[in-house]
A and B are shown apart, each in its own frame.
Chain A
Amino acid sequence: MATPGALPGSTSGGPEPGGTSTAAVPYAVELRGITKRFPGVVANRDINLRVRRGEVHAIVGENGAGKSTLMKILYGMYRPDEGTILLDGTPVTFRSPADAIEAGIGMVHQHFMLADNFTVLENIVLGSEPTRGGRLDLGEARRRIGEISERYDLGLDPDVLVETLGVGDRQRVEIAKVLYRGARTLILDEPTAVLVPHEVDDLFGNLGELTREGLTVIFISHKLDEVRRVADSITVIRRGTTVGTADPKTTTARQLAEMMVGSELPSPETRESTVRETPVLRLQHVTVTTPEGRAVVDDVGLVAREGEVVGIAGVEGNGQAELVDAIMGLRRLSAGTVVLGDEDITAWSTRARREAGLGFIPEDRHRQGMLLEAPLWENRILGHQTRPPAVKGHFIDRRAARADTERIMREYDVRAPGPDTLAVALSGGNQQKLIVGREMSATPRLLVAAHPTRGVDVGAQTVIWELLKDARAAGMSILLISADLDELIGLSDTLHVMLRGRLVATLDPARLTPEELGGHMTGARTAAGAA
């Protein structure tokens, strides 16, 4: 193992602190009194952040609390109006992310930015290709990647194609990419959002290697239990400012949550069962194949009854998205039937299905749930073009649409200036609440909810969970697809596990831990415990 401090490719100047910190050592990253104003609003106000070298420093806060603005400032995308950024005690000014990278700050994004048909090596060097005499010098790159992989125990094989890698490996490629560019401070944005429990363990192991080698990790997360497990110190942001720091060893998740939102941590748990006898949705032998003939949804059968939440757990990419598309009529089945109530809707169009009482909260609200550049009242109409109140016959009733949008904003706590605001201007949580409100307003018989609380803050999450619970109690049938294991276990009455296109296990959420569920999702556990 190499000595800490002599890091590959570190280009920036400044004092090079040792691996062990003493009181005299300046902070790796220090923000003093950072304020960022947009016209009429202060996004960040008097932010103070002190990150010691070689620690995992977590930043927690709701979405919209100002974390992203802060990270953009630290990564050179915004320039602060007031305050100073110090790296290793030296004030710096970033004009662009390139400056930040130059100074040794790297960002690992939540959504991977990798080219599937490139190898690990090619992906890592992409954008900063080593050249010799104008020609690509992959030998040198290979050597350095090998060195990085070994030093931080990333276990990367430079020559495999990224498309063959799992989520955890891809994330390690992203980390290697940043290290390759000489980063000594890594910002990880919600890194565990896409991982299953044992992958999270692996990631935390890697973070340990990084900090042991003297690197600094800034870790952004909502998941307070994880934060407490991995972080050496925690800074909490609320309403645009830093409200305090916490020691993960002495602070409970509940206390952290109170700092974040000023209220209790919500729980997804439902109380008594409201399941009735009448089936609403019946899937029989549903199979969806790719053009090449590979089955991505393979012989799936399930029943969702009135007042029942049927959860579908699974690592992403195991056919859940295709199953949702098949139910919504966005993808043709190659075999099987979809029955809603007493009617076989297999051949129906999406519109006919929606009119027949299918509500839809899509996985990717920007892609499938909203018209970002349209005002909210037009988004109220989306998906409900053929039904009152927004539409009269063949004509759009603008006034009624606006009025009903205002009602949704009121009843579902959508925070926006008014129905004429463009959807793009809303935060993720408010967009999602609008979508939930819109779908609930049509009182569907079956609600297909794909990742309903993904990327929303704790406050909006509570609201959405409560809405789902109320709808369930009122007799609505809900198909819940999620990657949030607590959400799945807490809300579901019946829980299916989807793996490689098949439902491999049916579990009782009342007697299930997230760890067990994670085991089923990766196929490590078989259907032995299936009920």
Chain B
Amino acid sequence: MTRLRRVGLALFAPVLAVLVAAVISSAVMAALQVDPVRVFQVMFDFGSTPDEQVTALVVILNRAIPLFLAGLAVAIAFRMGLFNIGVEGQYRLATIVAAAVGAAIVLPGPLHVLVIVLVAMAVGALWAGIVAVLKVTRGVSEVISSIMLNFIALGTASYLLTGPFRGSAPGASIVATKDLPESGWLPGINGVFSALGLVSPPRELYGFLPLAIIAGVAISVLLNRTRFGFDLKASGMSPSAASASGVDARAMVIKTMLLSGAIAGLIGLPDLLGKTHSYTTDFTAGLGFLGIAVALLGRNRPGGIALAALLFAFLDRSLVPLQIASYPASVVTIIQGTIVLAVVIANEIARRIARRQAERSSVLPAAAGPGAGGGGPGTGPTTPADDTDERQGAQA
């Protein structure tokens, strides 16, 4: 009963946000003389043949994997109240270095992939570590420094791509790093579809999917079941209470940012290992920023982030069909934007409802039982914590 209510409350905010976003974007479309019903029809049209439908599913899943990782990276920092806006720079830099290192070495298959993954994580962690060190030693806000470092990371990536890591022929229209040797590729896992009795589509489902799931489960366990996760959560809820309980706040900032950066380093790998095999000038950009939205919508929980990533991937997939049907693709951007705005508001509303419910439910048992502890000394049953007075009194 209470569990059901808690789940309902957890779902309430994101679902409300998505609905509000749908309504607002419909209104915007209507204002632009675009028929929203038709647009949504196009978005939900996955094609008529099983082949097309499974392909659409693969496209969504392939996009959802990096979005999930991006959301995860942001959420780890979020849990302790750190705003890692630098995920974008962290993954771009991590991907190009990993691509270059991967292309430069030859190792047996799984080991080669492992090295690339570790390099990407290390670079991402290192880049995020700069933010942490600045915050801990100089008190620089992580928001400011991570935004600044995004520019530096993107600039550095461009320099590396056109300079030392350049692998494409001079004059080629797209500048790229050298291709990874085949031992560094992560083959697709379309076998799942056959195993499920579905048509195997022409597109490959990224082999990174199981790795992303492992990462999600590992982070979930780490955050919810371990001492480290407890310290992290406590630091996020109340830095002062956490330090009084023995958490070293500075070490915690560094550890959290390193972890967040390491996960951020993985974001580019599904594409790199599964499809492009090299870092190019047109390598997928913007995943780090979308990750913030995904984390918000997923309420910083791995399960929620997975759902949010699927939703954003679904929106992303509809870009092409919309353009084919000659609808403005910016519709998707509008929906994504309004989701972010709506989710921030809805989360706050849900938080307040949860808190109020908690306050009421606690008063209940003491007061409901007539004469419970009657006459004896003790904290009377009636009102919610007296201490809230002071805050509310501040309005006066």
Contact = CB atoms under 8 A, between A and B. Distances in A.
A328 B244 CA distance: 8
A417 B230 contact: no
| Most A-side CB within 10 Å, residue of B2, B227, B394 | B227
Interface stretch (A200-208, A371-379, A518-526): A371-379
A372 B383 CA distance: 17
B365 interface: yes
Interface string A339-361: 00000000001111111000010
| Most B-side CB within 10 Å, residue of A101, A110, A415 | A415
A109 B387 CA distance: 12
| Most A-side CB within 10 Å, residue of B238, B355, B363, B378 | B378
Nearest to B246: A351
B114 interface: no
A41 interface: yes
B368 A40 contact: yes
A62 B385 contact: no
B230 A109 contact: no
Given A385-B227, A462-B377, A68 B238 contact: no
B364 A41 contact: yes
B: contact size bracket: 35 or more
A422 to B, nearest CB: 4
Contacts of B387: 366, 428, 455
Contacts of A250: none
B380 A374 contact: no
B323 interface: no
B379 to A, nearest CB: 4
B38 interface: no
B230 A381 contact: yes
Contacts of B359: 424-425
Interface residues of A, number: 89
Nearest to A38: B360
Contacts of B245: 350, 354, 382-385
| Most A-side CB within 10 Å, residue of B243, B380, B392 | B380
B379 A110 contact: no
Contacts of B35: none
Contacts of B355: 373, 422, 424
Given A44-B382, A64-B381, A460-B379, A371 B237 contact: yes
B231 A385 contact: yes
A176 interface: no
| Most A-side CB within 10 Å, residue of B237, B386, B395 | B386
Nearest to B361: A417
B363 A109 contact: no
Contacts of A350: 243-248
A396 B380 contact: no
B358 A424 contact: yes
B227 A417 contact: no
Nearest to A266: B377
A425 B248 contact: no
27 contacts: A43-B382, A43-B383, A62-B380, A75-B396, A77-B392, A113-B394, A189-B389, A238-B380, A240-B381, A263-B376, A263-B377, A330-B243, A349-B246, A350-B245, A350-B246, A367-B241, A383-B246, A385-B227, A396-B229, A415-B366, A415-B378, A416-B362, A417-B362, A417-B364, A417-B365, A422-B355, A429-B379
Question: Lowest 6 CB-CB distances: which A-B pairs, in order?
Answer: A351-B246, A459-B377, A425-B362, A383-B245, A368-B244, A459-B378
Interface of B: 2, 224-231, 233-234, 237-238, 240-241, 243-248, 354-355, 358-368, 373, 375-387, 389-390, 392-396
Interface of A: 38-44, 61-69, 71-72, 75, 77, 97, 101, 107, 109-111, 113, 189, 238-240, 261-263, 266, 328, 330, 349-355, 360, 362, 366-374, 378, 381-386, 391, 394-396, 398, 413, 415-417, 420-422, 424-431, 455-460, 462
